[in-house]
Amino acid sequence: MSFESDTAIIVDCLSQFYKHSNSGNGRCIEQHPMQKLIDELELSKLVAEGGLSGDKLKHFLENYLSGITKIYHPGNVAHQQAVPHYMSALAGLIDNFVSSDGSTYEIGPASVSVEYFLINWLIGKVGWVPAPVPPEEQTDNHHAGGVLLQGGSLSNLTAIIAARTHIAPDVWQHGSPGDLVILAPKHTHYSIARAAGIIGIGHQSVRSLEVDNQGLIIVDRLPEVISEVKSQGKRILAVVANAANTAAGLFDPLQEIGLFCQEHDLWFHIDGAHGGPALLTQKYKHLTKGFNLASSITINMHKLMRVSSTCSALLMRDARTLDQAFVQQASYLFFDKEQPGYDFLHRTIECTKPVLGLKFFMVLAALGESGISDYIERLFDLTMEIYNYLESLPDFECPLEPQSNILCFLIHGVPEGQLLLREELLNRGMFYISTASINDVRYLRLTISNPETNLGHIKELVNELREIRDTGLSRK
Ligand SMILES: *Cc1c(COP(=O)(O)O)cnc(C)c1O
């Protein structure tokens, strides 16, 4: 049993897994019943025996990998999940080996420094004032700030918590006031409604903003909503807009909403969990116009930036709003100390925080800024190409023109419904797609993340869907 020899076994298995998945030969999804998997993986036996190493390790890992949906398969076009660059995996290895900490400088000076650097790098892209690097004198000059968190849901929750402390500074002593309302379009990610539940104002405090036929916020209707809320004696906790929305991947008119919020002194949260990285491109940067007007922004790295799950950035235009978000104190950690670095501890729900910056940094440093930009531009371009192709077919239809790497569509002539068609497609296993409901119609949905996926694969998908429609479903 040795680290070196077991690592060599793992690298070999992963390399086979990658090559086989990426070739597109074989299935990309296969779901067996859970008890069967637990038995096949021999979990009880391995726990009882111990000694997971060498051939035993190889056997286990091969079984394990065969039970994983193949992210590197070009037919995997389902979810908003990055197809990771291998540097992300290597960062994970380093990070899990040294088991540093992402929040406390004493424990992980280099880890915290990388995260601090990345937050400032993102802040620079948004166009805000970067935070001074400690221990430089903290000045009274207004600057931005942020933190890396485990996923967009946690970033959104933290943003809502900060907005709440901002509007109700005594909330940590007295609890949530009952007059707070969040305004968000209907298709907003469920994590916003969940955040409302968590902070104790309830789902019903999330009011749907009126949207156009593309599902995007109608800015002209905002004044009416604001006066309605005010006339009911309520206060607006935050206005939430999407960059982009989860179902269709479309961007709200951020600039206009941002100006409106500025004028009315409202907290403006941009949920850029999916599309935020468009900021890093030349060609699609225009979609993120208005980011600089936000109070807070969520951007995920594990969707469009080739970083493995999970890594999300929460950025705030005024760092003080994040610094004050949580006021509760733990005396053994929070005490004034002279130190050469920085603690993220007061900005997070977590105490021990995984190091999320290393994988983000190593992918970025491997591809370079232009490499990331090229990758994102190619995905968005290809999605538009797929849209044009599907629209040219007599029996396919897309409800909306795409703006990012998400595309909804349906195939005609399926009275059984698109969901049953998808189920049969997944049973066959060569393609993995998702679904979304838009204006109460159920669509099939593609998210293009794999650098190897091309129009040829989508043409095969079309053939397979037609075959299932024409033969597979009717025989059932
Ligand atoms: C994916 C997504 C989220 C949730 O992010 P997780 O990292 O999965 O928690 C939130 N908002 C939007 C717009 C998303 O696309």
pLDDT for residue 136 is more than 80: no
The per-residue pLDDT for 141 is 72
Extract the tokens encoding 461: 């998908």
CA-242 nearest atom, ligand 1: 13
CA-300 nearest atom, ligand 1: 7
Q: Give the mean pLDDT of 408-419.
A: 96
pLDDT tens for 217-274 read 999 999 999 999 999 999 999 999 999 999 999 999 999 999 999 999 999 999 999 9
The binding-site residues of ligand 1, defined as CB within 6 angstroms of any ligand atom, are: 80, 151-153, 156, 189, 191, 242, 246, 271, 273-274, 300, 310, 312
For residue 190, how far is its CA from the centre of ligand 1 (angstroms)?
9
Instruction: List all residues 6 or more positions away from 4 whose beta carbon is below 8 Å from its beta carbon.
Output: none
For residue 80, how far is its CA from the centre of ligand 1 (angstroms)?
8
pLDDT tens for 81-134 read 999 999 999 999 999 999 999 999 999 999 999 999 999 999 999 999 999 998
The per-residue pLDDT for 335 is 58
Q: Which protein residue has the closest C-alpha to ligand 1 atom 4? A: 152
For residue 449, how far is its CA from the centre of ligand 1 (angstroms)?
15
**Choice from 150, 189, 297, 356 to test ligand 1 binding pocket (greatest atom count within 8 A of CB):** 189
The per-residue pLDDT for 135 is 75
Q: Cα separation of 400 and 391, whole Å?
A: 10
The per-residue pLDDT for 139 is 64
CA-310 nearest atom, ligand 1: 7
Sorting pLDDT into bands at 50, 70 and 90, what band is 414? Answer: very high
Among all chains, which residue has been given the structure tokens 């709200």?
Answer: 252
pLDDT for residue 474 is more than 80: no
Q: Give the mean pLDDT of 442-461.
A: 97
pLDDT tens for 18-40 read 999 999 999 999 999 999 999 99
The kind and range of the H/E element at 438 are: strand 434-438
For residue 299, how far is its CA from the centre of ligand 1 (angstroms)?
9
Classified as helix, coil or strand, 303 is: helix
Mean pLDDT for all residues in the chain: 95
Q: Which protein residue has the closest C-alpha to ligand 1 atom 3? A: 152
For residue 336, how far is its CA from the centre of ligand 1 (angstroms)?
35
For residue 233, how far is its CA from the centre of ligand 1 (angstroms)?
32
For residue 434, how far is its CA from the centre of ligand 1 (angstroms)?
15
The per-residue pLDDT for 473 is 77
What proportion of the chain, given as a percentage, has pLDDT over 70?
96
CA-303 nearest atom, ligand 1: 1
pLDDT tens for 49-71 read 999 999 999 999 999 999 999 99
pLDDT for residue 330 is more than 60: no
pLDDT for residue 47 is more than 80: yes
Sorting pLDDT into bands at 50, 70 and 90, what band is 339? Answer: confident
pLDDT for residue 200 is more than 60: yes
pLDDT tens for 367-411 read 999 999 999 999 999 999 999 999 999 999 999 999 999 999 999
CA-80 nearest atom, ligand 1: 1
Q: Cα separation of 240 and 206, whole Å?
A: 10
Percent helix, strand and coil across the chain, each rounded to 5?
45, 15, 40
Tell me which residue of 416, 414, 412, 447 sits closest to 433, measured CA to CA. Answer: 447
What is the C-alpha R_g of the chain?
24
The kind and range of the H/E element at 96 are: helix 86-98
154: phi then psi, degrees, rounded to nearest 5: -70, -35
CA-309 nearest atom, ligand 1: 7
